[in-house]
Amino acid sequence: MSDKKEKLTLKNLGIDTNQEYVVFLRRDCPACKSEGFIALNRVQVTVGDRKIIASLNIIDNKILPIGQVGLSESAWKAVHAKEGDTVLLSHLKPVLSLHDVRSKIYENRLNEDSFERIIQDIKDEKYSNIEIASFITACSGDHLNLDEIKALTKAMIRTGSVLKWEKYPVVDKHCVGGLPGNRTTPIVVSIVAAAGLTVPKTSSRAITSPAGTADTMEAVTNVNLNLNQMKTVVEKEGGCIVWGGSIGLSPVDDILIRVERALEVDSVGQMIASVLSKKAAAGSSHVVIDIPIGKTAKVRTEEDAEKLNYYFTVVGRFVGLKVKVLISDGSQPIGRGIGPSLEIKDCISVLKNEADSPLDLKQRALTIAGAMLEFSAPHRYKNGVQAALEILESGKAWEKFENICKAQGDFKKPSSSKFQLDVIAQSSGIVSEIDNRKIAKVARLAGAPNSSSAGVYFLSPLGRKIEKGDVLYTVHSDSEGELEYAFDYLNTQNGIITIL
């Protein structure tokens, strides 16, 4: 059979399956028959000295000649394939950790060894997206207890690199999310790095929101740095803001996030493991966690926030982190922009100390930056918020932000959308309630975060007096079709903004 394998050669079909590795084979190919391959088998693909694991798709027409094998675009790049290369296909050995996943599906508790097996196999790309989705679903909701969250966090740290820094302390921050426009990180990192502390900020892309910090920063600079490039930036400027998926710290986290994004699932236990594994792997010593509470935020009640506070603190201590939790108001969007370019424009306005910059964004960023300064260097900073304000108003934070962007390889002007459409108030009154989830969905339907300039420019904070005919917010899009999707959704929804 090995001779037959050697006769298989690669043909580029140009099929994009995103990050899922897929291999294509004719049903009547002798190799398909002799190996007993069937559709959706997980197979090992070997090209030269490179190996990947891919899902098999069977083809019944002549788009692929007998004796040739097709690969999806991502798989093609992963093995550095060239047209005509020899390829070997073989069955994947049973993935034993899937027994652990099935056990979790039936609500059994998993130990450290089980999570270690699962996370290592996901890292080794032995799981298909369907199998990863099964694991995510089995752990979603409140299905992980404290011991399981500890075990998952430790397993995620162990599968990647862990950075060490010469300076101490090393500080970081994270917001639990669910609050549109709450893009404090570019401001906070700039302030704290300008204060002389080390802030190796790795950020995620959006899962269920219109923008993650990495998406927002990508509107003005390069965030796809490798580990050595990231270290160079931090050593030069004291801080960075990069995409965690490009540097190999807790690499399984980025695989899980990719599938969570498709499922629109962001479970508590996995979120804690995701956040803390990244912080520990980045070499942080002190982490400030912001938990906004609101009726339509990710965290709805004080009780849920206190539970998260406890979990973050205990799991953080377990992996060697000092964690401070801030519980904040999550009743409405922060700033005006919702979407990558719109959000970074707000950040730049605050950093430049412009007179019309969003005051709520500025205050929240100062609160977080102040907490980071006091928490990590209490002998140096007695009043962290005041110190942060002085750094911001002196222009040092803006200078630091510019320098970080340039050190990361670029500093460009954020783009503007091709199409905008205003949403007009149909009655007069006072804004009394805002549905964060719905306003975020409008921004996503308009194209965010895939389209950097898409989103919502929000003009109706709580307490604003509205006259009939006023603009409540403006929807931005680069596609007339997506703009139409957003407005089709708006026409079916009540209560996005309640005016009384």
Which residues are tagged catalytic? 266
Tokens of 374: 């006091």
Q: How far is CA 87 from the centre of its chain?
A: 34
Instruction: Report how far residue 84's alpha carbon sits from residue 227's, in angstroms, rounded to the nearest whole number.
Output: 34
Q: Provide the 3-class DSSP secondary structure of residue 255.
A: helix
Instruction: Report how far residue 380's alpha carbon sits from residue 141's, in angstroms, rounded to the nearest whole number.
Output: 41
The set of long-range contacts for 482-485, using a CB threshold of 8 Å and a minimum separation of 24, is 482/445, 482/446, 482/447, 482/451, 482/454, 483/419, 483/421, 483/446, 485/445, 485/446
- In eight-state DSSP terms, residue 64 is S
Q: CA separation (Å) from 6 to 86, 87, 369, 492?
A: 6, 7, 59, 58
Q: Is 118 in contact with 84 (CB distance < 8 Å)? A: no
Q: How far is CA 31 from the centre of its chain?
A: 40
Please name every residue paired with 370 in a beta bridge, in sequence order, or none if there are none: none
Query: What amino acid occupies position 339?
Result: G
Residue length of the chain: 500
Tokens of 210: 């219109």
Q: Provide the 3-class DSSP secondary structure of residue 403.
A: helix
Q: Starting at the edge strand that comes first in sequence, how are the strands of the sheet with 471-477 ordered?
A: 337-338, 455-458, 471-477, 419-424
Query: What amino acid occupies position 396?
Result: K
Q: Provide the 3-class DSSP secondary structure of residue 51.
A: strand
Q: Which helix (H) or strand (E) holds 338?
A: strand 337-338
Q: Is 58 in contact with 39 (CB distance < 8 Å)? A: yes
